[in-house]
Amino acid sequence: MSLSLLPNGLVSIVDVSHAHFEHLDGPCERIRGARSILEDASPQDVLAWAARIFDRRVALACSFGGPSGMVLIDMLAEIDAKIPVYYLDTGLLFPETYALIDRTRQRYGIEPIAAHPSLSVEEQATLFGPALWSRDPDSCCEIRKLAPQRRLLSDYEAWISGIRRDQSPQRSDVAVVESDTASGLTKINPLASWTGEMVWTYIRAHDVPYNELHDRGYPSLGCTHCTSPVKAGEHERAGRWRGFAKSECGLHR
């Protein structure tokens, strides 16, 4: 199935997917129905479907530390620029990441929402000891990423992610539309079937801004203490939490 974005209002996939989605009983069945329709759809069609189905009850998560999220921001600017974009401001992001957020504001005229932890870095150190990330990165991610996202998404019914199947073995079976067990929301992954090469082809073709550290050996960026450059032959998330049996913060399960 080849579905393309229509220039006169995104009618084709939006209307068809809505009709199929509407008559199915129960959230799980509706997600399976949407998945079967959208699996081979373009990312733009998936985003248009999400905007139609969820309206303002869907938000786009962008780390500003990976190129995929920037592709989705660029696509949404043409589809529905009013869909909120948010990021998890752990207080430990790279300066280059904050610089990209500023460039995104200027380029797209949007104000990304910052989801903050309830504890500052200093308060966390007081309660749990210094450099929690070096001793218990799972707990650090829970405090600084997972809990803030849960609070923010409590006002929404769905969220959009830039994860792709080719990013790591743990993501190889991600679906375009799925149920997020952590939040209980519908999770939409428009770029699930894309490759890194496709992402960068889009970025170059559309002059999409991206994190400067991607040009210095960092294909995937999180917090400063838990991100290192990737070596030749490693997958793009190999530099995350190096030295630990961990490649995910827990947002994507």
Express each pLDDT in 93-138 by its tens digit: 999 999 999 999 999 999 999 999 999 999 999 999 999 999 999 9
Say what angle helices 196-206 and 67-79 make with each other, to 10 degrees. Answer: 50
Q: Is residue 137 part of a domain?
A: yes
Amino acid at 211: N
Is the pLDDT assigned to residue 45 strictly greater than 90? yes
Task: Provide φ and ψ at 113, rounded to 5°.
Answer: -85, 125
Q: Is 88 helix (H, G, I), strand (E, B) or coil?
A: strand
Q: Could you read off the pLDDT of 86-96 as tens digits, one per residue? A: 999 999 999 99
Is the pLDDT assigned to residue 25 strictly greater than 60? no
CATH number for position 196: 3.40.50.620
Pairwise pLDDT comparison (8 vs 170), residue with the higher score: 170
Is the pLDDT assigned to residue 232 strictly greater than 50? yes
Q: Note down the domain range covering 124.
A: 55-226
* pLDDT for position 238: 73
Q: Is residue 212 part of a domain?
A: yes
Q: Is residue 50 part of a domain?
A: no
Q: Is residue 235 part of a domain?
A: no
Q: Is residue 43 part of a domain?
A: no
The catalytic residue positions are 249
Average of pLDDT values for 56-62?
Answer: 95
* pLDDT for position 16: 44
Q: Give the span between the Cα atoms of 125 and 130, in whole angstroms.
A: 4
Is the pLDDT assigned to residue 18 strictly greater than 90? no
Q: Is residue 145 part of a domain?
A: yes
Average of pLDDT values for 198-224?
Answer: 95
- What does the block give as tokens for 88? 């998890």
Q: Are strands 113-115 and 177-179 parallel, antiparallel or unpaired?
A: unpaired
Tally of domains in the chain? 1
* pLDDT for position 28: 55
Q: Is residue 99 part of a domain?
A: yes
Amino acid at 51: A
* pLDDT for position 243: 67
Of 143-147, 152-156, 239-243, 244-248, minimum mean pLDDT range: 244-248
State the alpha helices, DSSP H only, in 80-180: 95-108, 121-128, 132-135, 137-141, 147-153
Is the pLDDT assigned to residue 200 strictly greater than 50? yes
Task: Tell which residue, 54, 1, 3, 7, has the closest CA to residue 187.
Answer: 54
Of 11-25, 181-195, 232-246, minimum mean pLDDT range: 11-25
When pLDDT is cut at 50, 70 and 90, the band that residue 171 belongs to is: confident
Pairwise pLDDT comparison (36 vs 228), residue with the higher score: 228
Q: Is residue 158 part of a domain?
A: yes
Which of 23-37, 212-226, 230-244 ranks highest by mean pLDDT? 212-226
